[in-house]
Structure formats: structure tokens, C-alpha cells
Amino acid sequence: MALFFGKKKDGEARPATAPGTPPPASSTPGGPGPDAPPAAEIAGQFTPAPEKARRFFDHAKTVDEATNYEYAMQSWLNGLRFEPDSMTGVPGFFSSASKFLAETGGKKPPTKELSKSVSGKGDLDRYLLSLLEWAMRPTDPPLAVRAMESSAKLGLQETTYWIGERAFATVLRDKKVRKDLLIKVSDSFGKIGAWDKAVAAAEQALKVDPADGELGAQIRSMAAQATMSRGGYDKTGEQGGFRRNIRDADKQRMLEEQERVSKTDGTVDRLIAAATEEYQKRPGDLPTVDRYAKLLLERARPDDEEKAHALYAEAHAQTKQFRFRELAGEIRIRQSKRKLAELRRMLDAAPGDETVGRMHAQATQEHLELELGEFKLRVQAYPTDISRKFELGKRHFALGNHNEAIEFFQEAQADPRNRASALNYLGQSFLKIRWNDEAVDAFRRALEIRELSPEVQIEIRYGLMAALQEKAAEARDLAAAEESDRIASSIAVQQIGFRDIRLRRDSIKKLLAELRAPRPS
């Protein structure tokens, strides 16, 4: 394989690429290409070179689109050598890795050459190797935490935060949540100054071992650090720093009020006044912006949401951090939901009013389209986040875009948290486009999942019944009709008022009689 990390060994073959897809210009047989990092950088001391990284990232996108996912992974890692904190490269790498796992069923490991290319002894090598190992076993908590620790060790703030959110969730999803891993997550969040997240992880560790008094003390210390960091009180000795502020009774009261769960209107007004003043002094400070916007949303006066939206939009424009764009979009979704709820109340009060009915139908369509657009952006920003893909699939389904929805539900079924729902939606989507066999298969696989709640189980059984009925009617399949009839009867016995089960049972009985009737000679 023509590696982009150093010399090519004799006898190694270049990875297959899609026809017409050239390797990056930096891949020179027999030695490192002109863009290859020097030995000092390979050992862990890197100098960011975004333009060089972009060449690899662009090539990674090309070969990914050509479904050569392993080669795409190689290219993403090459680019990350030059820009290890790239929020294009890291999500892109995990997206290609996810597709590689799906294609191989998770049974084929990456080539030895790919693994060897990131097996150096430097911190950068360890970071890249940790990404590869975790990507190949995405549900493994220790590997997730190791990737976070490696990123934090290199001082990659946004990357560590991105990885950390996912590592934290991975640890919590494990059957036996490990205290030591949660503490490592907390420590890594602390290294990048994400104290709120550090506290949250430590609190989860304390739930695992409530008797750990030392950990409880550490949590209190981190919580104080989080408060100081949010308010700028950690600059001891500086003008406006901790010692001056701690003597300021008004500001101290503001800090205490901000930590309260329940606040009076007067308290919120005072907090917003203080946050406004702080924002005017430090308009580019992201924690200040975030705190100011959240307080505005908490007060929720008519113009507060618009101010908060403008704050998040400006923060996104300045930093290109998508989380601010997502927060701005969430405000628009909240406003749309409120409008829709009000029209729903008007329609309930006057069910025969055609004008209100049209307004409600139009608002519903606009709301669904708004959500679809927002979730498209979220999936583009976080291409490896399966939960966001599941939500995007639901929006496509609601709008009747069933072919598009199928693609996202197929990916979402890999997430244990959403597997049952994703398969249920997948079956419904196939049923909508009259792919009856595929619908039956999706519903059957959903019913194989253990520990389904009674509510979810009856929904899936109803879907299977409907799919079998459609299959029986279209293919004149007596066996499918008989199974559909058995399911309909069992649902009716269990819950006679479930949906339209009475009508369904009658129509299936009629279909069954038709299929069993002797054909005229």
C-alpha cells in the first residue's frame, strides 16, 4: 500500500480505487510524498497545515463516494496528520469507518497496512490509532475513552469535546457502567476547560460508587471551577478577577442566583442585566454568549428569543462551530411548534372552520419542512451521529419522502437505542412504497428484539399484520393471509380498541375467504 506516512515497503500493493480516481498528489511510490510530515511531526510534534490536510480530505470524500471506504479511512487519517483537530476530518473519518463496518458486517478488520500506518510511538500516532481502534469497535467504552484521552493530551479542544460527548454516552450505555472510565472522561473534559461536562461525568461516577467521599469533594471543586470559568472569576489577582469579585456582594449574589434551579422573574431580570453587561465587555467570549442566550430563552419575552437567535447565529458565523447553528435552529423549531399548537387549539375549538383547518395544515407542512432542513444540516455536520440520522429519517417519513427515509432508517438500526423504532419505521416505509416482502422482513426483525415494551410490540405486530395483508392481496398468497389473520385475532383479543383492528380483522377475513374459495374450472 502506498502509505502517506513514510516509505512504501517493497511488494506492497496500492489499494484499489474506483476507476478514474487518482491517489493524492503526495503519494510517491518508494518514499514520502512532498506533503509527508517530517520525522519530528510523525513522532508527535505536529505543525498544523490545513491546506495540505484539505487535499487528503477532498480525496477521502471522492473515494468514499466511490464506496472505497477503507481507502477513504486511510485518506482521512492522512489529512488528520496535518490538521488533527479538523472538524471536517474527524467526523468524515468516522462516517467512512461506519460505512466500512456496515459493508463488511463488522467481521472484516482493516488491513494490516492501515493499522501499521498509525502504530508509531508519538502522541499524534497514538491519537490516530485510538481513532481507528474506536471506529472499528464503536460500542466499546474503553476504546471511546482512550480516543478522548489521546485528543485531550494533544490539546485538541473542539475535537476532544466532540469525541467526549460520544465517549460519555458510550460509557453510560454499557450494561455495567464503569466508574474508572467516567472519571477519565471527567478528567479529559477538565483538561479542555469543559467543566460543566466534567462535573456531569464525575456525578455519574459518584452514582456508581456513592460512598466515594473524595470524589464528592472533587465534584464540588469542579463545580466551583465551572462557576468561576463561566463568570470570568478564575483570573485571581487580575483586575476584575476572583478576589475583587468575591468581595462584590451584588456579583456574588448573581452567582448564587444563577445556580438556583427555580428563579423568580426579578432574579432572571437581574441575571440578564448582568449577562448583558458582561457580553458588552466580552462579545467574543463563547461561554458568555452561551450563558446570555440561555438566560434570554429562560425569560422568554417576545423579543428574547430573537436576541438569543441572533447571538447564536453570530457565534456560528464567527467560530464556524456548528453547535451554535444547531442552537439557533432549535429556537426556530420551538417557535414553529408554538404556532402549530396554538392553531391546533383553535381547530379543536372550531372543528368545522375551514379557514383554521387550512392554516393548521399549512403550518404543519411548514413545521415539518423546517425540521427536515434543520436535521439535514445536523447530519451534514455530524455524519457519524446515527441518532441524528434517525431523527432525519423520521422527518422524511412524516413528509412522505419514503425512499429517502429508508436510507436513514437502515443506518439507524445499528444503534441499539433506536433499533426497534428504526426497524418499525423501516417496515412502514417499505409498506408505503409497496415493497411488501421487505416490509415483512423489517417487522420480523424488530419483533426479534428482546425487552420490547408492550406498546412498541403491539405497534410492530400491527405493522407486520398490515404488511402480510398487502402481500397476500397483491401476490394472492394464502399463507401470508393466514398469518395476517392470526396476528389480527391476537391483537383484537389483547386490545380490541387498538387502532382500526376490528375493520382490519374483517377485511382480512374477507380476503382469506376469497383466497380459499375454489377457482371456477
Q: How do the pLDDT tens digits run along the chain, 521 residues long?
A: 333 333 333 333 334 333 333 344 333 323 333 343 333 333 344 567 888 888 899 888 988 888 888 888 888 998 898 889 888 899 999 988 888 888 877 677 777 777 777 777 788 988 999 999 899 889 899 999 999 999 999 888 889 999 999 999 999 988 889 999 999 999 999 888 888 888 889 989 888 888 888 888 888 888 777 766 554 444 434 444 434 443 444 444 444 444 444 445 567 788 888 888 888 988 888 888 888 998 899 888 879 999 999 999 999 999 889 989 999 999 999 999 999 999 989 988 888 888 989 999 999 999 999 999 999 999 999 888 888 999 999 999 999 999 999 999 999 998 888 899 999 999 999 999 999 999 999 999 999 998 788 888 999 999 999 999 999 999 999 999 999 999 999 999 999 999 999 999 999 999 999 999 887 76
Give the CA distances from residue 28 to residues 25, 43, 355, 358, in Å, rounded to whole numbers and listed in that order. Answer: 8, 21, 69, 64
Tabulate helix, strand, coil % of the chain (nearest 5). 70, 0, 30
Q: Is 192 exposed, middle or buried (0-12, 13-18, 19+ CB in 10 A)?
A: buried
**Stated pTM of the model:** 0.52
Cβ burial 441-473 (10 Å sphere, 16+ → b, else e): bbbebbbeeeebeeebbbbbbbbbbbbbbbbbb
- Rounded CA-CA distance 47/35 in Å is 12
Residue 434, phi then psi, degrees to nearest 5:
65, 30
- 72 vs 49: CA distance, rounded Å: 20
Q: Helix H segments across 154-212?
A: 157-173, 179-191, 195-208
Pair 146, 133: CB distance under 8 Å: yes
pLDDT at 44: 41
**Is residue 359 a contact partner of residue 345, using CB atoms and an 8 Å limit?**
no
Question: What cell numbers appear for 379 in the block?
Answer: 447530519
- Structure confidence at residue 506 (pLDDT): 94
